[in-house]
Amino acid sequence: MQVQVQLLTSAHDRANFRCGEVDLDRWLETQALQQQSKNTSRTFVLVDEANPEAVLGFYALTISQADGTAVPSKRSLPQVVPVIRLGRLAIREDLQGKGFRLGEILLLNAIERVVEVSNLGSGVALVVDAKHDKAASFYRKYGFRASPDSPLMLYLPISVCRELVMAP
């Protein structure tokens, strides 16, 4: 399987995507393109090059802000800091746990985009609101650290994002 990450378009089959989380499935089907057209988020889909209409997985990015005291950092930060939010990340249920590492492909693609955005604008971290402990443990493997106030609110400093992008 040769996969590729693309910006979501109406050509992608959103209606048949199922990841095991009904709210994520519904959001992709009914909200992702609307939010994209309103410039409130960007959704990227993972597809097999042999069948580019079928969505294998997706993630969404938004520009946001966070309480500077909640961001794990070695240096002091202002009260409010710019962040890039990973709003959703999901893999089709029948492909989960099969050794394809599709979640990793999507996360690393998101991190590359976050580095590009931070180079052009600003942002101190990539932040994700993990849905549950299982999701949080996935993100922790890549260096995300929990907010002192919320164990499911995870941050990856932009400096770490840059290191991950530069790693061979």
Number of domains in the chain: 1
Average pLDDT by consecutive 10-residue portion of the chain (168 residues)? 96 97 96 97 97 97 88 76 93 92 96 94 92 93 90 93 85
The pLDDT value given to residue 71: 76
pLDDT of residue 54: 97
Which pLDDT belongs to residue 168? 64
Which residues are CB-neighbours of 139 under 8 A, at least 6 positions away? 107, 128, 130, 154, 156
Q: What domain range includes position 141?
A: 3-166
Which domain CATH number covers 31? 3.40.630.30
Please give the pLDDT value at position 1: 85
pLDDT attached to residue 97: 87
105: number of Cβ within 10 Å = 17
- pLDDT at residue 149, as a whole number: 83
Tell me what pLDDT residue 15 has.
97
Give the per-residue pLDDT at 74. Answer: 67
Helix (H) or strand (E) holding 118: helix 102-120
Question: Active-site positions?
Answer: 139
pLDDT of residue 46: 98
86 bridge partner residues:
61, 128
What pLDDT is recorded for position 93? 97
Specify the amino acid at residue 139.
Answer: Y
